[in-house]
Structure formats: structure tokens, C-alpha cells
Structure 1
Amino acid sequence: MFKHIILSGCLQSLFCLQLFAQQPAETPPNIILILADDMGYGQLGCYGQQIVRTPNIDTLAARGIRFTGYYAGCSVCAPSREALMTGMHTGHTAIRGNFRLAVDDGNLPMAANHPTLAEYLKSQGYRTALFGKWGVGDSLTGPGSRGFDESLCYMDQMKAHNYYPPYLWKDDKRLPLEANEGGRHGVYSHSLFVEKTLEFIRKSRPGQPFFLYLPYTIPHGDYMLPPDTPYIKQPWPEALKTYATMVSLLDRDVGRILSLLKEKGLAENTLILFTSDNGANAGPAKLFRANGPFRGAKLSLYEGGIREPFIACWPARIKAGRVTRHVTAAWDLLPTLCQIAGVRPSVPVDGISFLPALLGKGQQPQHPFLYWELYDYNYNWQKPGNRLPRNWLQSRAVRMGKWKGIQNNVYKDKQAAIALYDLEKDPGEQHDAAAEHPDIISRIKTIFARSSTPDPPYFPYRAVHN
């Protein structure tokens, strides 16, 4: 039995190849992938939010399908985005944690030998664009080098904390923003991304599908807004008033996108996907229950750090008002969207297409397990007196059927105990059942041993990279 549970990424990819025989012959849809930043599972009304209003995103869910078992690629920005873009989980990605480079603008690049989702779709005639945060490369490995025809973005994820930046990057070239020079708050970056989004849709042409990747930076901190908030009278800390307003602003702009698609006659055959890169920070998680009923937050591999909202709306193909418990993850997006576009991944991937679950037709293959690992970054590594390395393996986790295993503080103790949770009975991960199920723990240890490519560049960091 156990040999059926431990499958390599190559073997898992065979499921994807088998599914391509089911590829529908209809005109390929436009695809819009909206990736919120630091928005937890419980931050939307359709996922139980009671305080912050999200009527447009809730409408999107009502018109399509809502997933309750979707997971982000990781619990922090960069590795989560590479998993989404390449179809690989964080045991196989080049980026396995945030990592600050010495260069002024840029982050570690994604693996060069794994084509991105944009590259595959572009090969099928899709017009491609990205507006928001890149965070997985620099000006030499920016969106233009990885399949995007157009882009306006932050290249560096740390610079993306400032919503009034002195410059952005347009088509991999620096674009000065004069209105923000000298620390002025002249133009709000999110507003620029939304205007470029609407302009791109307006310029769309019949007969050429488009892929629009929108990794918007809100509601990630720093919590900065133009001086208006619908929550101004609430007795909350100022930062959380701003956070709530950012969520409402994102919802408003989703509404603007939906309205324009309807106006252009594109709504029926446009697949809109909405999700987030990782869970919310502890503050929003506590006040708004932004991570729903789950334990943990951003930077944690507990459910609150990686279980995310996932909504898909495609009126021409997806029946409205559906909810699915299918367990899936960010690395499944690439094979799913490739199948829709009619292109096979040219290299093995860890993802499995969830198109049958999306359409409610055909047999849906299941993952034998999902795997994550998370490296922590030491931002004080160069300071006097520091004794810790530049980064280290902090946590790793497995979802296997109803079971969730998580091992924390791996750097300090490679034999650290693995906690085990029955997510059907204990979705809040409160009762460690490891002592009661040594057989499951043994399986998880084997998955840990086989699911990670050893010694990836920079994880852990080695002095040779100085």
C-alpha cells in the first residue's frame, strides 16, 4: 500500500498527461489570475468573514466554484509564487524561503529549467501581462524573460512594502514616478496596477486569448492608503483600519474588472481565478479571524499559514454556486491551465490538473500527498554578535488524506518531533495524535526524506555564494 503513497513528481505528472485527452475543443478562454498578498482563508464574506465587506468577490464565488481545500505554495511570498508559476512544490523549487540579495532591486530568480505558466500560455498564442509584484527575480530575470509580453511591477518584494514608491518596473525597465519623488505621496501603486489592468482588457482583440496575472500587493503591509477609509469610526488600531480598507479596495477593483469584462462581451469565456499567496499576519488574523478557524498565520505551515481561499468563475463552463472539498495546491494551477489551453508541460511537474473538479465532469485524480518546506531568513546575519546562519530550514509539512504532519524547528533538531493532526476531526490542529498513530508518522518521515531535492542553491545558504 505504501508504495502507492510515495510518488515522485515525475510519476504524479503522468496524471496530467492522461488528462489531456479530455481537453475540450471550444475556443480557449481568457484567463485572469488574481493573487492577493497576505489575505487569509477567512477574510472574504463567502468564507465566513463577518466584519470586512467583500461583495464583489463574493459575487464571483456565487457565479462559479469555491474551493475549501486549496493550499498556497508556501506560507511566505517568494517560494509560494514560484510554486504557482512553475508547478513545483517547495521541495523542488529553487526558492524555498524569502532571501534578501545584496543588489538594490531584485530577489532570487526561479529555476531556469522549469518553464513558467506564462511561457506555456504564450506558446499557445495567449497575450500575457503581469501587473503587481514580481518578487522572483531581478531586471535580468524579470517578467519579460519568463513569458510576459507586458508588465508593470515591483521587482523587489521588500520595495513593495512602500505603496508610494519613487519608481516601478515597466517591461523590465525602471519607470520613475515623479509624483512620489522625495517621499511624496502622489500616486498609489495599486491604483496604477488596476488602471493598467483595465487598459489591457480594453485593448484585447477578438480571436486572441489573454492571460492576465495580477499579483496585487494589497492587503500586505506597510499599511498605507490614500486618506479615505470606510472604517474610520471603528475602534480598531489604525493599521488594522487600513488593512480592512485595503481588502475593501481590492474587492472594489475586482468589481471594476467584472464590469469591464461584461461591457466588452468577454465575461462568458473568461476564467477568473482568485486566491492569495499565504495567510494573513497575526494582527488581522486575531481581530478579523482573517485565517478562518485555522491555527497559525503567515510564516507558519499550520493551516492558517497555507490554507487559502480559491475561487474560479467561468460562466461558459463552470456551473454557478458550487463548492468543492477537493484538496489541491498552487502547483496544480500550471497543469490545470495548460490543459485548458491545450499545451502539455515540457518537463515533469509536481502538480495535477484539477480541471475535472473545476468543471464537475470526469474522474479527478487525487494527490497521494502535498509537501511543503519553509526556510527562515536571518535579516541580522551580518550584524556584530550574530551567531545564526543566514537562513535555515524552519519547518516542513505534509497533507496526506485527512492527516496533516508538521515538523517545526528542524534547524535546531533534525529529529524534532512530528506533530500529527486529523483535519477531519481537528481542523484547528489542536490535538496532536502522533502517539496514537506511529504508522502514519513513519509514512510522513519517508515522505520528508524523499520529497526534497538536497542542497538547493541558497537553501541553506553557503559561503560560496558571497
Structure 2
Amino acid sequence: MNNVINKFLVAAAILVAISCKEEKSPYEKAVASKPNILYILADDLGYGDLGCYGQDVIKTPNIDKLASEGLLFRQHYAGATVCAPSRNSLITGQHMGHTTIKSMEKPIKKEDITVAEVLKTAGYSTGVIGKWGLGAVGTTGYANDQGFDYSFGYYDQIRAHNYYPDYLWENGEKYPLKNKVIYVTDSTNYAVGIGNAAVEKVEYSNDVFTEKALDFLDKKGNDPFFLYLAYTIPHANNESFLINEHGMEVPDLGIYANEDWPEAKKAGAAMISRLDSYIGVLMDKLKEKGLEKETLVIFTSDNGPHQEGGWNLDFFDSNGSLQGMKRDLYEGGIRIPFIARWPEIITPGKTDNVATFWDFMPTACDLAGVEVPRSSDGISYLPTLVGDFDRQPKHDFLYWEFDTSISRRAARKGDYKLVTITKKNPDTTSVELFNISNDISEEYNLAEENPKMVEELMNVIDQF
């Protein structure tokens, strides 16, 4: 009898050992699992504009719910501090030292490898809806020539400043909207948009983006999809397109109509809450279609908050406790809200893992089970998404640049971040070193007391 028991115990032990050996880690389960990817990008939404990031006036219940069901990143960085280079970083997986578009808008190169092209090799159907801004029809940056099966929205940045255009673009063809110009006072402006004109406002572009996104989800076939949904909310109108006393354009003021605030502040808050309502509709559609558990949803912003069109970032603390805003390389210009939800795969919570826009390319490659292009500067954050933190590699450094009449450079290594600002006439350069871990607001310049770290980070900047 003892012999039988011993044999049974040995057999059981072998089975347990085999079972343990075959048990995969969360990361191993997620790699090459080919989930759908819905990547939602806001435009100029600040780190402090959402309830889940500390906003206590503007209401964002749907995005807050997304955060409660997913992973909220507290140290996620945009590719740049303005839209075109930041979006290019996201799409190509390159930081500002290598990417084609560094400041002003121009098309990405034909030879640039995009995340859409890579995902297509893994059998994904791909779409971009909203603001593309990386090349118009007939250029090397045209979205349908850069890996997207479907494109809808604004191809260029200038028209994207107008929330009531007379047309958008769908797969390279003009898609007319019902908005009508009643009179035009400046024919030059009219050539690029509405100009200083009275307009019959019927179709709000971001409402149309949501309708097209719902259509895209309704038409989903058997292949996994990658939908890049790039809203233009809460970007302000460019001055050339002002059709009222401020540049925050929204169909109605919603729950803020009776607030005792300046009109532009009410409109800006309404824009953010309207964006939030889109998220609720999209999540309902995923659930209705039975796609919830097989879809990774990411929500983020292209850079920090603006201060244009009557909006003031201090009014609602749009940058939270961060210094700076759009066009700065302080944290307020580049640290952005970032939420990832994937039911039963991502454990809800928060993370201080440092991640960036150029990390999306390798993360998508991980998910699709394809090789990361050699052109990418990124590191997959998939281990962080699934809670496999021991497997998560870290960046040696992060790098940003932005040039106008002033040259701005920034590099981060570990907890330290260097910001240099060079002005002309006369040439002057300021050098600031911050310890981000205990000085998130970048108030204390440590450059003089830590010259070794300044030199180390200057060496990073000098590479590019």
C-alpha cells in the first residue's frame, strides 16, 4: 500500500512540476495575442484637466471610469511639446533626435516606418480618424500611403483649427459637411478655412469623428484592428478662424452654461466634457459588439495644455502641479495623462513607470508578435501594462527638442532632468537641472551643486 501511495505522490509531483513549467507569465500571455488597439488622442489636454488626475471642477466621469478600470500612468511623456512632431514620434517610434518632423508641419518621409505599416504585416486592419497632420493627399505623408487602410478627418494642421469646416477628407476624397459660409470678410483666410466669416454651424467635426469611429467598430471583420482616433478637443481656434469672441469652440456649454465664468472658460470646460462623452459612447460600443475583453484602449494627449483662445491654464489648474505648458520642455509641456484599459489583462491601478510616445511602436510590436523596426528608439511598456514589473526595461535617457526663435532642449536620465533654453540677440543659454522625483514642479535648479549630472545630460543633448 505504501508503494502505491508513494507512486501516486511522485506522479502528482511530476504533474505539478509540468503544470508549473507550462504556466506562462502575464507578459508571455499577452505577447503576440493580437488584441484590438483603440488609441484615443486628445489635443492640448493638460495633465490636470481630468478628474482622475486631480481636476475637481471639469467633469470627466467616463474617462475617470476608464482610469478606475485600467492603469493610470503618472509619468508618461509626449514625443514633443507641440502636435506635429509629437504625433510623428507616436507613429514612427522615434524621439526628437531622430524623427523627421521636429517643429513645423511637413510630411513624414516615404521611407519612414509607421506603426500602422508594422501592424498590417501582422494581419491588422488599420484606420486613422481625426487629426492626422503628418502629410496631405499627394505627399509622402498621406495616411493611406503610410499603412492606414482607412483615413478620415483633417490631413493638415491649419484646417484642424476650425471645428466647423465645410469639408473633411475621407480616403483622399473631400467629404462635404453641412456647415455653410454666409459671408466672408477675408478671402485669403477663406482659402485655408472659414476665415472671419459668419457660419451656419451644423456639423461639429469631433461629433463626426465619433460617428465614423462607431462605424469603423461596427464594420470590424475577423482581423484585429488598430484604430488611431485623434480628436482636436480642446485645442483652440487659430486667430484666423475666430468666429466669436473667443477661440474655444463647442456646440453648447452643457452643464457649465450657468456658471459665473468668462465665456471662453465655460466653452473650454464644455469641450473637455464633450470629449469625455465620446469616450462613454465608444466604450458602450465595444461592450455592445462583444469587443471589450479583446481590446486594449489607450487614452492620452499629444502635449501639455495651451493658453490660447481665451483659455487660461491656471483657471482650472490644467497643468496640475507641473510647471509650464504647450511649447515648454518643462513637465507641464510634455508630461501627459495616459490611461490603458484591457479587461482581465490589465490590473487596475497606477504606475510611476516612465514611458513615452516613442514606446508605443515596440509595445504594439510586442502585442502583434512582430519584430520592432531598427529605426525605433522605444521600449515596450507591455510588461508594465500586465503587471510584470520585473521584466520591464528602462530607458537610458529621454530626449526632447523644440526650436522657434528660441531653442529648447531637454534630457532626462533616472530622476534627473536637464532643460536648456537658448535665446538669440544676444545669445544666452540658461541651464536648469531638476530632480523630478522630489521636485515635480521643477522649482529648484540643482545645476550648480551637481555639475557632474549636468555634464552627463549635456552629453545626451549634444548627440543630437
C-alpha contact 1:67 1:324 (8 A) present in aligned 2:
yes
Q: Note if 1:236 corresponds to 2:261.
A: yes
Residues 311-353 of structure 1 deviation map (CA, whole Å, 9 limit, x = unaligned)? 0000131112x11100111100111011101111333311111
How far apart are 1:298 and its partner, in Å? 0.7
How far apart are 1:289 and its partner, in Å? 0.7
- For 2:110 and 2:321, how far apart are their aligned partners in 1? 38
Match of 2:289 in 1: 264
1:318 maps to a residue whose letter is: I
Q: Note if 1:98 corresponds to 2:104.
A: yes
Q: Note if 1:73 corresponds to 2:76.
A: no
Match of 2:232 in 1: 217
Residues 25-47 of structure 1 deviation map (CA, whole Å, 9 limit, x = unaligned)? 67411100000000011111111
- For 1:130 and 1:26, how far apart are their aligned partners in 2? 22
- For 2:304 and 2:373, how far apart are their aligned partners in 1? 31
How far apart are 1:181 and its partner, in Å? 4.4
C-alpha contact 1:39 1:280 (8 A) present in aligned 2:
yes
1:138 maps to a residue whose letter is: A
CA gap 1:411/1:399 in 2 versus in 1, 3 angstroms: farther
1:136 maps to a residue whose letter is: L
**Equivalent in 121, 125, 134 of residue 123 of structure 2:** 125
Q: Note if 1:307 corresponds to 2:323.
A: no
CA gap 1:121/1:393 in 2 versus in 1, 3 angstroms: farther
- For 2:171 and 2:92, how far apart are their aligned partners in 1? 21
Match of 2:145 in 1: 145
- For 2:428 and 2:398, how far apart are their aligned partners in 1? 21
CA gap 1:159/1:261 in 2 versus in 1, 3 angstroms: same
2:402 maps to a residue whose letter is: L
- For 2:381 and 2:217, how far apart are their aligned partners in 1? 26
C-alpha contact 1:152 1:171 (8 A) present in aligned 2:
yes
Q: Note if 1:366 corresponds to 2:394.
A: yes
C-alpha contact 1:114 1:347 (8 A) present in aligned 2:
no
Match of 2:403 in 1: 375
Match of 1:281 in 2: 306
- For 2:149 and 2:100, how far apart are their aligned partners in 1? 24
- For 2:372 and 2:32, how far apart are their aligned partners in 1? 20
Match of 1:379 in 2: none
How far apart are 1:375 and its partner, in Å? 1.7
How far apart are 1:413 and its partner, in Å? 7.1
- For 1:144 and 1:348, how far apart are their aligned partners in 2? 21
CA gap 1:166/1:426 in 2 versus in 1, 3 angstroms: same
Greater mean alpha carbon deviation, residues 272-281 or residues 347-356:
347-356
1:265 maps to a residue whose letter is: G
User: 5+ residue gaps in structure 1?
Assistant: 1-20, 100-107, 377-391, 453-466
CA gap 1:422/1:256 in 2 versus in 1, 3 angstroms: same
**Equivalent in 194, 205, 227 of residue 252 of structure 2:** 227
* Higher alpha-carbon Rg: 2
CA gap 1:226/1:26 in 2 versus in 1, 3 angstroms: same
CA gap 1:121/1:26 in 2 versus in 1, 3 angstroms: closer
- For 1:255 and 1:151, how far apart are their aligned partners in 2? 23
1:196 maps to a residue whose letter is: K
Greater mean alpha carbon deviation, residues 255-264 or residues 25-34:
25-34
C-alpha contact 2:32 2:366 (8 A) present in aligned 1:
no
User: SS at the partner of 2:293?
Assistant: coil
- For 1:25 and 1:51, how far apart are their aligned partners in 2? 40
**TM-score normalised by structure 1 residue count:** 0.84
User: SS at the partner of 2:235?
Assistant: coil
Residues 231-289 of structure 1 deviation map (CA, whole Å, 9 limit, x = unaligned)? 11112221111110010001111000011111111101100000000011134420111
Q: Note if 1:200 corresponds to 2:216.
A: yes
CA gap 1:422/1:346 in 2 versus in 1, 3 angstroms: closer
C-alpha contact 1:23 1:342 (8 A) present in aligned 2:
no
CA gap 1:284/1:417 in 2 versus in 1, 3 angstroms: closer
C-alpha contact 1:180 1:187 (8 A) present in aligned 2:
no
Percent identity of paired positions between Structure 1 and Structure 2 = 44
**Equivalent in 174, 179, 184 of residue 200 of structure 2:** 184
**Equivalent in 433, 436, 440 of residue 446 of structure 2:** 433
Match of 2:13 in 1: none
- For 1:326 and 1:414, how far apart are their aligned partners in 2? 37
Match of 1:357 in 2: 384
Name the count of aligned residue pairs: 407
- For 1:224 and 1:397, how far apart are their aligned partners in 2? 33
CA gap 1:409/1:235 in 2 versus in 1, 3 angstroms: farther
2:448 maps to a residue whose letter is: A
Match of 2:363 in 1: 336
Residues 58-114 of structure 1 deviation map (CA, whole Å, 9 limit, x = unaligned)? 111111101001000111010000000000001111111124xxxxxxxx1123322
C-alpha contact 2:163 2:206 (8 A) present in aligned 1:
yes
1:422 maps to a residue whose letter is: N
Greater mean alpha carbon deviation, residues 130-139 or residues 171-180:
171-180
Match of 1:109 in 2: 107
How far apart are 1:412 and its partner, in Å? 5.6
- For 1:270 and 1:59, how far apart are their aligned partners in 2? 16
- For 2:58 and 2:30, how far apart are their aligned partners in 1? 39
Match of 2:56 in 1: 50
User: SS at the partner of 2:359?
Assistant: helix
- For 2:316 and 2:421, how far apart are their aligned partners in 1? 26
How far apart are 1:178 and its partner, in Å? 3.9
Q: Note if 1:417 corresponds to 2:430.
A: yes
**Equivalent in 401, 405, 430 of residue 418 of structure 2:** 405
2:352 maps to a residue whose letter is: R
Match of 1:14 in 2: none
